[in-house]
Amino acid sequence: MLAILRIPFMKRNLKYTIPALILVAGAAFGFRYVQSANTEKESLVMRLVAEALQGVHYQPRAIDDSFSEDVFNAYLELLDGEKRFVYQSDFDRLAKHKLKLDDYFTSGDLSFFEESSSLWKQRRIEARRRYTRILAKPVDLTKARSLETEAEKRAYPKDSAAMDAFWADYLTSRVLDRLYDRAYEKKDSINPAFLPGHPDFAANESEARSKELEIHNEWFDGLDELDRTDDFSYYINAYAAAFDPHTQYFPPQQQEAFEIEMTGQLEGIGAQLQQDGEFVTIASIVTGSACWRQGELEVGDKLLKVAQGDAQPEDVVGMRVNKVVTKVRGKKGTEVRLTVRKKDGTEKVIPIVRDIVEMEATFARSAMLGNNIGYIRLPKFYVDFFDESNRDCSEDVRTELRALKAAGARGIIFDLRGNGGGSLPAAVGIAGHFIDKGPVVQVKTQGQRVRSYDDPTPGVEWDGPLVVLVDESTASASEIVAAALQDYGRAIIVGTTQTFGKGTVQNMMDFDRAAGPFYAKYQPLGAFKLTIQKYYRVNGGTTQLDGVRSDVVIPDAFQHVAYGERELDFALAADKIPAAAYKPVAENSKRAQAVAASQARVNTNREFTRINDYSNYLREQEKNTGLPLKWDDFVADRRASEEAIKRFDREGARTDTTVATMVTPGKPEKAEEDRRWLRAVRRDPSIVESMRLLTDLQ
């Protein structure tokens, strides 16, 4: 029996927590306590986390030397993954504890935490002095050398001189970026004042260094605001991360610090931010928000500059996330222009008009395409467990199916691309619209029998030809639907090679309630989100890591970029259980031939060939991690990359390739938004290919 943890309280909210199979794309570890540091409290939290992991986690691992080594590596990655602060001698010194962290964990021993956090603070102070000294003099743009941008390929600097050399090269790359952007910011001309040799170059180079100094000062000011409680969050979450990527400790905190939202309460652009070293990145997009409707901002984009309308952009590299949020927030109707760096390394200015988040845009919507093919887009799974009068995505999909059937649809495209999941009951209900009866998904809890969730309603809403569109962001509950329809033989899956691959369920544990009144003097203790279940396909397989494999594979620009559950450290393994008792439908006699013909068309389609070529280009570019630091070499490298990317950019050249009309009337005030949505549908090559596939099945 656990010494501290009281488990029964967890059942209190299972009705709502278990169904919410929401994708968590990475963890943010920098949350802060409301109280001041308290070593007894920290020791208690360590023991609570240890006992929760051992007693409640779906797949507890042994707390041994192997675990200890994994925690050590995860912790060093969190502290200094870019190797900008820690020396090799520091690493060697801390590594003496590498095989002792398991013992510290179970006993609540904070000695390693004390030593590492003290060292971390000391190295931050040194780094501030270092960059201040380096930026006080002109950078050397004449020496042929390069900066290794991939930290995994670099060793920790062996001494102060080696660290100085690294920072000098790193800061040179930052100054080069600024000068290049100003010299080549206009497509039709070059500003010579920012080129070496021009009389004004020295002044502009000095200004670039001054800006870098300002940005780095803001970055380090933010680091200096971190206190012991922030450091403890990093430390304890290294232990949690060694179990699985979705398990995480949340210290007590203010509501707004739990999840930084650029929308504020109602108004904004509708994106969530997280700190990633010196950059602030887009962590998620709020479905239906202003930036979601604008369509160009993506998860993973790095924010470089923020401008208020036509005002001069302000550099935000190095700023803390809280400060960046204040610059992006604003009143409805005002414009913010974000300069971002995309995953392929290109930079783009994205204008977004702030707005109130329009939840209507998250709802299912449909259109009738050419050749009487129905199309339904479901951006997310939504259901309100507390108010039965609110909208439910399963009922909305039913309504759209009936409308399309009444309009004469001969096939249906069900689009789940980018759908990160949501309600399990809703997923089961939606799958039930396409099958008569039977299990939809199996759920396994540690130490318990496998439970099957069945279609609650006999009969089907649509028994005709069906395509489910997916991509690598199709996750969790969306994967449940796609997998069930594939296993029953009800749908052909079209999209990326596989979906995201998240087949686990998390629950939130309140440590105050778990520890009980005896430890009330230490409260609040925070909360712990941990993995408690896995779900499985009706055929006994799993979507964990494997995702759902497409029957017709369509190339994606980022198909070779590491993404998905399988790329996350310590993700739970894929396994199998016995199949449930289910009965697939009779296979369409035209299915095999139609799938083969569709794949052949995809393989020879010029649009898809271009996308595939671009993805291969990006894969090759990933190998080139050395950045030249001599001016002429730097310019040649950047220009070559920009020219190469231009070869693949045909987004603006797309034209309508089918017709699309609304079946269920939209709101008059949303007419322009509906028009843009239909335009995007008409020009989407994956939708057009799905139409052809459905036509072949008839």
| Domain boundaries along the sequence of the chain | 64-242, 264-356, 359-505+533-697
Residue 369 has pLDDT above 60, yes or no: yes
Q: Checking DSSP bridges between strand 421-423 and strand 411-415, what pairing results, if any?
A: unpaired
Determine the average pLDDT of the residues in 320-326: 79
- Fold annotation for 359-505+533-697: 2-enoyl-CoA Hydratase; Chain A, domain 1 (3.90.226)
Determine the average pLDDT of the residues in 268-296: 80
Catalytic: which of 70, 230, 244, 487?
A: 487
Computed over every residue of the chain, the mean pLDDT equals 86
In this prediction, residue 488 has a pLDDT band, given cuts at 50, 70 and 90, of: very high
Predicted TM-score of the model (pTM) = 0.76
Is residue 90 among the annotated active site residues? no
Catalytic: which of 476, 550, 615, 686?
A: 476
Q: pLDDT tens digits for 547-570?
A: 999 999 999 988 888 888 999 999
Least confident of 101-105, 349-353, 359-363, 635-639: 359-363
- Residue 154 in tokens: 């670099």
Report which DSSP code applies to 156.
P
- Residue 114 in tokens: 């004390």
Least confident of 199-203, 384-388, 537-541: 384-388
Residue 385 has pLDDT above 50, yes or no: no
Q: pLDDT tens digits for 490-522?
A: 999 999 999 999 999 888 888 888 888 888 888
User: HSE on the CB side for 671, CA within 13 Å?
Assistant: 2
Q: Which residue has the higher pLDDT, 322 or 281?
A: 281
Determine the average pLDDT of the residues in 543-547: 95
The pLDDT score that the predictor gives to residue 238 is 95
The pLDDT score that the predictor gives to residue 653 is 57
Q: Which residue has the higher pLDDT, 108 or 130?
A: 130
The pLDDT score that the predictor gives to residue 356 is 64
The pLDDT score that the predictor gives to residue 32 is 34
For residue 697, which of 537, 552, 496, 510 has the smallest C-alpha distance?
552
The pLDDT score that the predictor gives to residue 677 is 86
CA dihedral of residues 419, 420, 424, 427 (deg, nearest 10): 10
| Sequence letter at residue 385 | F
Start-end of H helices in 109-200: 111-134, 160-183
Catalytic: which of 41, 83, 327, 502?
A: 502
The pLDDT score that the predictor gives to residue 28 is 32
Domain at 264-356: CATH architecture: Roll (2.30)
| Rounded distance between C-alpha atoms, residue 81 and residue 156, angstroms | 10
In this prediction, residue 254 has a pLDDT band, given cuts at 50, 70 and 90, of: very low
| Rounded distance between C-alpha atoms, residue 568 and residue 531, angstroms | 15
| Rounded distance between C-alpha atoms, residue 338 and residue 336, angstroms | 6
Exposure string of 113-130, with b = 16+ CB inside 10 Å and e = fewer, is beebbebbeebbeebbeb
- Residue 596 in tokens: 């083969």
Is residue 476 among the annotated active site residues? yes
DSSP lists the bridge partners of residue 303 as 280, 340
Would 264-356 and 359-505+533-697 be classified into the same CATH topology?
Answer: no
Phi first, then psi: what are they for 146, rounded to 5°?
Answer: -145, 155
The pLDDT score that the predictor gives to residue 251 is 81
The pLDDT score that the predictor gives to residue 17 is 29
| Rounded distance between C-alpha atoms, residue 260 and residue 416, angstroms | 26
